[in-house]
């Protein structure tokens, strides 16, 4: 392929810019032309497409968000939207597309592939909920942001002998809560992929108090219930002076960590290698520290992401 395009879609994630930079620079290095599509699939359908040159992706590796902007654009799930998108790509002479985004964005890439247009998915979401990869771009930054919040909240929890419920993003996935919870020494981690018993949560807090423990930190994934609903249910089992802190979109922004920048650079370079060889219909990932390319149809139709539940068990053994 000689001319490719790139878009970022769905929730922005720190490191997306590093991936845009890597795709653009690697493609130019390989003698290819690169076009940037603004606002994800919305911009694709609208033809909001521009050529990217070396300076266009300068000074962005350290920035959060995405310089190509993003959008939630449900119209791309329709045949009309997809055909219009392919028409725009052909109008610009584009032969292959790199899609950086999460699960929904992958479904857009899958639709293009099924209609005969080669697309390569690059996993970019703070949620880490994509199959065929151990890690997604943005996850490492997100968990470090949550960790910073946990450490700060711990100061107040200890000073006032309070229980804190810290609600974190992750849509339907518990990875952010799980990893940040283990790193932050959380007393309990509540995730959608594992059942919990509120009575046991309350007993654990009580046992800690009886031993003279001052703080209690519970990290709650938003996919289970809201922090306020959790606090109301906990209050039925005793008065723990619980406060709720909802971190929300703070977890999605900020400068990417070194790990996310390196991961994004690897994924971006690899996506270009694949398209250069004429290979589309794939999604890239990292499994056991090896870059892999998986069939996007098979991945989305047969594979599911599962969090590392050994971390959940470990937390119960070491945090009380």
Site of interaction with ligand F6P (CB under 6 A): 11, 72, 102, 125-127, 169-171, 222, 252
Residues near ligand ADP (CB under 6 A), total: 18
Q: Which is nearer to ligand F6P, 47 or 192 (CB)?
A: 192
* DSSP per-residue letters across the chain: --EEEEEE-SS--TTHHHHHHHHHHHHHHTT-EEEEETTHHHHHHHT-EEEE-GGGGTT-TT-SS-TT-----GGGGSHHHHHHHHHHHHHTT--EEEEEE-HHHHHHHHHHHHTT--EEEEEB-TT---TT-S--BTHHHHHHHHHHHHHHHHHHHHHHT-EEEEEE--TT--HHHHHHHHHTT-SEEE-TTS---HHHHHHHHHHHHHTT---EEEEEETTT--HHHHHHHHHTT-----EEEE-GGGGG-SPPPHHHHHHHHHHHHHHHHHHHTT--SEEEEEETTEEEEEEHHHHHHH------HHHHHHHHHH--
* Contact in structure between 70 and 126 (CB atoms under 8 Å): no
Is there a binding annotation on residue 34?
A: no
Is 127 catalytic? The answer is yes
Which residue sits closest to ligand F6P, CB atoms considered?
A: 11
Is there a binding annotation on residue 125?
A: yes
Q: Which is nearer to ligand ADP, 21 or 305 (CB)?
A: 305
Q: Which of residues 83-102 bind ligand ADP (CB under 6 A)?
A: 101-102
Q: Which is nearer to ligand ADP, 108 or 174 (CB)?
A: 108
Smallest separation, CB 129 to ligand F6P (Å): 8
Q: Which is nearer to ligand F6P, 88 or 144 (CB)?
A: 144
Residue 126 binds which entry of ligand F6P, ligand ADP, none, with Cβ cut-offs from 5 to 8 Å by kind? ligand F6P
> Of the listed pieces 53-61, 107-115, 192-200, 277-285, which binds ligand ADP according to CB under 6 A?
107-115
Q: Which is nearer to ligand F6P, 21 or 252 (CB)?
A: 252
Is there a binding annotation on residue 72?
A: yes
- The residue whose two tokens read 């479904």 is 107
CA distance 6 to 8: 7
Closest C-alpha among 73, 59, 62 to residue 101: 73
Residue 40 buriedness (CB in 10 A; 0-12 / 13-18 / 19+): buried
Smallest separation, CB 132 to ligand ADP (Å): 15
Among candidate residues 127, 140, 175, 260, the one labeled active-site is: 127
> Of the listed pieces 105-113, 162-170, 189-197, 237-245, which binds ligand ADP according to CB under 6 A?
105-113
Is residue 41 at the binding interface for ligand ADP, with CB under 6 A as the rule?
yes
Is residue 125 at the binding interface for ligand ADP, with CB under 6 A as the rule?
yes
Smallest separation, CB 170 to ligand ADP (Å): 12
> Of the listed pieces 31-39, 70-78, 241-249, 288-296, which binds ligand ADP according to CB under 6 A?
70-78
Residue 107 binds which entry of ligand F6P, ligand ADP, none, with Cβ cut-offs from 5 to 8 Å by kind? ligand ADP
Annotated binding site for ATP: 11, 72-73, 102-105
Catalytic positions, written as ranges: 127
Residue numbers at the binding site for ligand ADP (CB under 6 A): 9-11, 41, 72-74, 76-77, 101-105, 107-108, 111, 125
């Amino acid at each position: 392929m000689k001319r490719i395009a790139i878009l970022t879609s769905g929730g922005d994630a720190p490191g997306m810019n590093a991936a845009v930079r890597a795709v653009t620079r690697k493609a130019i290095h390989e003698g290819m032309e690169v076009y940037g599509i603004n606002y994800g699939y919305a911009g694709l359908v609208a033809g909001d497409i521009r050529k990217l040159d070396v300076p266009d992706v300068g000074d962005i590796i350290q920035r959060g968000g995405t310089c190509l902007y993003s959008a939630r654009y449900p119209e791309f799930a329709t045949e009309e939207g997809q055909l219009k998108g392919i028409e725009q790509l052909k109008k610009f002479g584009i032969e292959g597309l790199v899609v950086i985004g999460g699960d929904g964005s992958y479904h857009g890439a899958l639709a293009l592939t099924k209609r005969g247009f080669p697309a390569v998915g690059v996993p970019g979401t703070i949620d880490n909920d994509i199959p065929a990869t151990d890690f997604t771009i943005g996850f490492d930054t997100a968990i470090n942001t949550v960790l910073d919040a946990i450490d700060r909240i711990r100061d107040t929890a200890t000073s006032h002998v309070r229980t804190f419920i810290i609600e974190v993003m992750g849509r339907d996935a518990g990875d952010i809560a799980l990893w940040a919870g283990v790193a932050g020494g959380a007393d309990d981690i509540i995730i959608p992929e594992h059942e919990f018993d509120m009575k046991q949560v309350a007993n654990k807090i009580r046992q800690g108090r009886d031993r003279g423990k001052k703080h209690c930190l519970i990290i709650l994934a938003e996919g289970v219930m809201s922090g306020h609903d959790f606090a109301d249910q906990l209050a039925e089992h005793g008065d723990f002076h619980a406060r709720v802190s909802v971190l929300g979109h703070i977890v999605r922004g900020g400068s990417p960590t070194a790990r996310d920048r390196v991961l994004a650079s690897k994924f971006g370079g690899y996506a270009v290698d694949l398209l250069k060889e004429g290979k589309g219909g794939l999604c890239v990932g990292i499994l056991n520290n090896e870059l892999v390319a998986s069939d996007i149809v098979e991945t989305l139709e047969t594979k599911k992401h599962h969090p590392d539940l050994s971390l959940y068990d470990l937390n119960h053994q070491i945090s009380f």
